[in-house]
Amino acid sequence: MIVARLRVWSYYVLLWVVSIVFVSPVLWIALSAFKTRNDILAMPPKFIFRPTLENFAHLFARDELWRQVANSVVLSLTAVIIAIVVSFLAAFCFSRFKPKGTDFLMFLLLSIRMLPGPAVILPVYLMYAGFGWKDNHFWLIMFYAMFSIPFSVWILKGFIDGVSVRFDETGLVNGGSWLHVIFKVVLPQVKPGLIAAFIFNLIFVWNEFLFNFIIGGVSTQNIPYALAVGTYADGGVAWPFIACLTTIYIIPPVVFIYAFQKYLLVGMTFGTVRGEV
């Protein structure tokens, strides 16, 4: 009996060790956020040190920080919400009405994700430059939305496929319109898919640097841009700044992953099953 329990507990310990090993570099970064610069650079590395909050104080004293944070939040949320709405409608259509060319279009949508960043952004930059859409929140959001659509369509279509057609029929027979069917009947049933798509795309746009750097500008700076630009400070590499900002920036996505973990695990099944994970 005891052996069995010991086995179970050593199994749990193993799992915890694995998790901690994976997260340890992140913890090292977070730890550095509380160290002075000399402590960060100290060799041998300091695990015991006097923690300080001055890095955070410096960080929040920066003028541009609030604008960058606001931009990060606004750009991510808006773009992803738009993408999800558009994708949901399209996925519904692909699933239920199967118009000609569905497979081709789905494949083409995926093709956008295939290209490396510079390849995608090059013609878009020329286009934006030509029309004067550079450094413009609206057009940047539109572009981010476009980038989030393929993944969302694929997930949502999978889930909607899994919702039995009989639900639709029942809804329509009972006198509801298609809008009613779409939003009141099918939507609630694909929640895991919606949430998974939302979180994944959010994380992508949240961490996105290249597009913001090239087609964004002074007013649309976001935090990854701030990280890239602020790497070198007046006195060498700005380790305290990077550690601090990274630590703060990672909190919202981690919170999301913790809170919606169950949905994430179901959502990534792409709708092939709607059971427990």
The interface with another protein within residues 6-25 (CB under 8 A) comprises 11-12, 14-16, 18-20, 22-23, 25
Whole-angstrom distance, CA of residue 196 vs CA of residue 262: 10
Which CB atom, from 60 or from 107, has the smaller least distance to another protein?
Answer: 107
Which CB atom, from 42 or from 57, has the smaller least distance to another protein?
Answer: 42
Does 253 bind another protein (CB under 8 A)? Our answer is yes
Annotate 187-235 with DSSP letters as a single string: GGGGHHHHHHHHHHHHHHHHT--HHHHHH--GGG--HHHHHHHTTEETT
Which burial class, exposed, middle or buried, applies to 3 when counting CB atoms under 10 A from its CB (0-12, 13-18, 19+)?
Answer: exposed
Query: Burial letters for 98-123: b for 16+ Cβ neighbours within 10 Å, e otherwise?
Result: eeeeeeeebeebeeeeeeeeeebbee
Whole-angstrom distance, CA of residue 81 vs CA of residue 75: 10
> In the window 188-227, what residues touch another protein (CB under 8 A)?
203, 206-207, 209-210, 213-214, 217-218, 223-224, 227
> In the window 108-137, what residues touch another protein (CB under 8 A)?
108-120, 122-127, 129-130, 132, 134-135
> In the window 79-108, what residues touch another protein (CB under 8 A)?
85-87, 89-90, 92-93, 96-97, 99, 105, 107-108
Does 49 bind another protein (CB under 8 A)? Our answer is no
SS3 237: strand
The amino acid that residue 232 corresponds to is Y
Does 269 bind another protein (CB under 8 A)? Our answer is yes
Residues in contact with another protein, total (CB under 8 A)? 113
Which CB atom, from 22 or from 50, has the smaller least distance to another protein?
Answer: 22
Beta pairing, strands 236-237 & 232-233: antiparallel
> In the window 129-188, what residues touch another protein (CB under 8 A)?
129-130, 132, 134-135, 142-143, 145-146, 149, 153, 165, 168-169, 172, 178
How near is the Cβ of 57 to another protein at its closest, in Å? Answer: 19
Pick the binder of another protein from 34, 159, 239, 263 (CB under 8 A).
239
Which CB atom, from 74 or from 233, has the smaller least distance to another protein?
Answer: 233
Pick the binder of another protein from 1, 4, 38, 175 (CB under 8 A).
38
How near is the Cβ of 2 to another protein at its closest, in Å? Answer: 18
And the tokens for 37?
A: 């610069």
Bond preceding residue 44 cis, omega within 30 of 0: yes
Whole-angstrom distance, CA of residue 39 vs CA of residue 150: 45
How near is the Cβ of 48 to another protein at its closest, in Å? Answer: 14
Annotate 97-146 with DSSP letters as a single string: T--TTHHHHHHHHHHHHHS-HHHHHHHHHHHHHHHT-TT-HHHHHHHHHH
> In the window 54-83, what residues touch another protein (CB under 8 A)?
none
